[in-house]
Structure 1
Amino acid sequence: MKKILRILALLMVFGLLFSACATPAAEEVPAEEVAPVEEAEEVVEEKLVVGFSLLTRTHTFYMLMEEALDDEAVKQGVEIVAVDANMDNATQLNQVQDFITQGVDAIILTPVDSAGIEAAIKLANDAEIPVFTMDTAATGDGVVVSHVATDNYAGGVLDGEYAVEVLDGKGEVAIIGCAGIESITLRTQGFQDAVKDYPDIEIVASTDCKCDGAIACDQTADLLVAYPDLALVFGTGDPFGLGAMTAITAANREVYVVSLDGLPEGIAEVKKGGLFLCTVAQDPDLIARTTLQNIVKYLGGEEIDPLILISPYVIDIKNAP
C-alpha cells in the first residue's frame, strides 16, 4: 500500500512539472484594419479646339495652308474646326461668332478684309478667346496675339528688282492687285519701291481684280488695248499673273509677267520658259505649322513673338523645281 501511495505521489509531482514547462497558448491579436485601396481616377486630358476661318478654299495657297494645319493638328493633338469665309467679310464675322458660342480655345483667321475683320476680333477679345492671324494681318484696335506671314513687302521688292533687270530699267508696267488685302498692299508697295529709282520705268495702271484670276485676265486684255507699249505685268498673286498670261497669249503680245506666290501652277508656267518669267515663292506649309505651334505654346503659358515673317525667294527658269 505504501508503495502505491509513493508511486501516486511521484506521478503528481511529474504532472505539476509538466504543467509548469508547457508553452502557454499564444494570445490572439486582432488584425490591424487595412484601409480599402481607392482606385485611381483616370484623368482624360481634353483636346485643344481651334477655330479656323480661312479666306477661301478656291485658291491653292489657302488649300495648302489648310492641309498643313490639319497635319500639324494631328501631331499636336489639337482639334481644328475649319470653315470657308468664301471671300465674304460678313460670313467671316458670323463664323467667329459661332466659334465663340462653341467655346473654342483659340481662333485663327486669314482675314477677308484687313480693316473689316476688326469687329470680329473684338468679339473674340471680349469672350477672352485668343486670336491669331496668318498670311494677311488685321488692322484696327482688335487684339491679335501673333501674326505669321510671308514677308510680303520683301516679296514685292524681289519682283520689282526682277522687273528692273529684265526691262533694263525702262518700260511701261501694270500691276494687277486686290483691294483690302494687307498682304497684297505690302507686295505692291515693295514692287513700287524697287522700281521708283528708275525714272524710265512707268507704272501706267494698277487694278483691283477682286482676287479673281478670271477678272485679272479681263483687266489685262483691256490694258493691252489701252497701253500698246505695255512691257510687263506684275501679278500680286499667281492666279492674277496666270490670268494676265492668258490674256497676253490670246492677244499674241510679247509682255512679260512676274508674279508672287510660288504655287504649283505658277511654277509650272515658269518652267515653260516663256513670258511668265518668275514667281516669288511663299511657304504656306511653314506659315500654318508655325501658327499652330505658337497657339499650343501660348495656351501652355509660353511667350511667343507677336510677328513672325518668313522670307520669300525667287523661282525662275534657272531654279524651278
Structure 2
Amino acid sequence: MNKSRVTSLAALAAVSAIVLAGCSIDEAPSADTPDTGASGEVDKILFDYPFTALPVYASLTQAVADYAETQGIEVVFTNDNMDLATQVSQLTTHLGSDIDAVVSFPMDNAAVQTVAKQFIDDGTLWITYGGDLDEQSSSLQFSFHDSGMTLGEDAGEWITENLDGDAKVLVLGDMSIQLGQERTTGILDGLEASAPDAEIIEQQAITPDEGLSVTSAVLAQHPDIDVVVATSGDAAAGAYQALIASGRPADDANTYVGGLDGNLTLYQEMKAGNFVRGVVTVKSSELAQAIVDFPVKLGKGEATERFDVPVYFVDADSADLDDYIVELGG
C-alpha cells in the first residue's frame, strides 16, 4: 500500500461515543489479583462521559437515564465539557460519596489513573469505558480493531470493485487514546488487505468541525480524493460536508465515505442514496443497557473481568437503517 503521511491539521484528545450490539465476557481475574473495588449491590452509578460537544452525547446520556429508571438504578452524570482538568475535578468531587460504581471514559489515562485508584481504595467499582487502566475493576470495550478493520475492508472491496483497486484514500484517525489507536490501525489493516494499491493519506480528526476543516484542507491539495474513512462517525460527517462543499455531487458513483459510530447525518445521507456507503456501529439503546447492567452484575459477581462487544456494519441495504436514524432523533 502506498502511504502518504500528512502532518495533522487538527487533533483533539477525544473520541466519539461507541454503541454496542452484543457481548462476550473474558475469564474472571485470578484470585491473587489486586483489589479492584468492593462487590455488592450497585444502586447508584456515576457515568463520566467527557466529550459533551459530540452529537451523540445527548442521545446516549438520555438513553442511559431512561433505561436506569426502568431498572430502579440512580445514575449521576458528570459535565466535563471536553476538558481533562474538569474531568479530573468532577470525578474527584464524588470521592467519598454514596456512588457504588463509576463508568468513566478517560481523556488521559495517566491523569485519571490516580482518581480511579482512589475510588477503588474507597470500595467503589471502577469500570473503564473505551479502554483499560492499570487500576480498574473492569472495562467496557467495543471491538476497536475489528470494527476498524470491518470498515477498512468494506472500503477496500468497494475500491477494488468500482475503481479497479486504484484510489486515493483519506483516513481520519485518532492516535491520542487506546480506542482511537486500535480503530485507526484496524482501518489501515483492512485497507491493506482489500485494496493494497490504494494511496493513503492519514490525518487526525474526531469532531464534525475537525472532519470538515481537515478534509477541506486535504482536498485543497488533493482534489482527487476518492474515499474518506474515519475512526469517528462525527468526523466522517464533517468530511462528507467538505466533499459536498468542494463541488462533489452527493450521488457521485466514484466516492465513498464511511465512519465508525452512528451519526444522524451519515445515516440520512445513506438512506437518500448518496455516497455515504458504510457505518460500523452498535445501538445506543444497547450501550445504555450495558452501562447500567454491567456494573450491577459486576457488583453481584455475575460478570467478570471485561465486557467486550461486537459491532454491526450498516449500509443503505440494511433493513434496520431506519431504526438507527430514529435512535439518533431523526
1:227 alignment partner, one of 218, 222, 229: 222
Where do 1:125-274 residues align within 5 Å? 125-134=120-129, 136-139=130-133, 141-142=134-135, 144-168=136-160, 169-197=165-193, 198-204=195-201, 206-209=202-205, 211-253=206-248, 255-274=255-274
Q: 2:230 is aligned with what amino acid? A: G
Is the contact between residue 155 and residue 190 of structure 1 (CA under 8 Å) also seen in structure 2?
Answer: yes
Question: 1-side partners of 2:196 and 2:204: how far apart?
Answer: 24
Distance 1:306 1:284, change over 3 A: farther
Q: CA deviation at 1:98?
A: 0.9
In the alignment, which residue of structure 1 is the partner of 2:313?
A: 314
Is the contact between residue 281 and residue 313 of structure 2 (CA under 8 Å) also seen in structure 1?
Answer: yes
**Cα distance per residue 1:250-308 (max 9 Å; x no partner):** 111364211111233321121121121121122232122123212222333x2412222
2:75 alignment partner, one of 71, 77, 80: 80
RMSD between aligned residues? 2.1
Identity %: 26
Distance 1:247 1:264, change over 3 A: closer
Question: 2-side partners of 1:181 and 1:61: how far apart?
Answer: 19
Q: Tell me the TM-score normalised to structure 1 length.
A: 0.77
Question: 2-side partners of 1:186 and 1:115: how far apart?
Answer: 18
**Cα distance per residue 1:42-74 (max 9 Å; x no partner):** xxxx98222221122332333332222212322
Q: Tell me the TM-score normalised to structure 2 length.
A: 0.75
RCO higher in structure (CA 8 A, sep ≥6): 2
- If you compute each CA radius of gyration, which structure gives the higher value, 1 or 2? 1
Unaligned runs of 5+ in 2: 1-40, 323-330
Q: Secondary structure at the match of 1:230?
A: coil
How many residues are aligned here? 270
Distance 1:103 1:114, change over 3 A: same
In the alignment, which residue of structure 2 is the partner of 1:16?
A: none
Where do 1:51-90 residues align within 5 Å? 51-90=46-85
Unaligned runs of 5+ in 1: 1-45
Q: Which moved more, 1:173-182 or 1:243-252?
A: 173-182
Distance 1:172 1:245, change over 3 A: same
Q: Secondary structure at the match of 1:224?
A: helix
In the alignment, which residue of structure 1 is the partner of 2:18?
A: none
Question: 2-side partners of 1:89 and 1:128: how far apart?
Answer: 24
Where do 1:112-123 residues align within 5 Å? 112-123=107-118
Is the contact between residue 96 and residue 124 of structure 1 (CA under 8 Å) also seen in structure 2?
Answer: no
Q: CA deviation at 1:116?
A: 3.6
Q: 1:284 is aligned with what amino acid? A: S
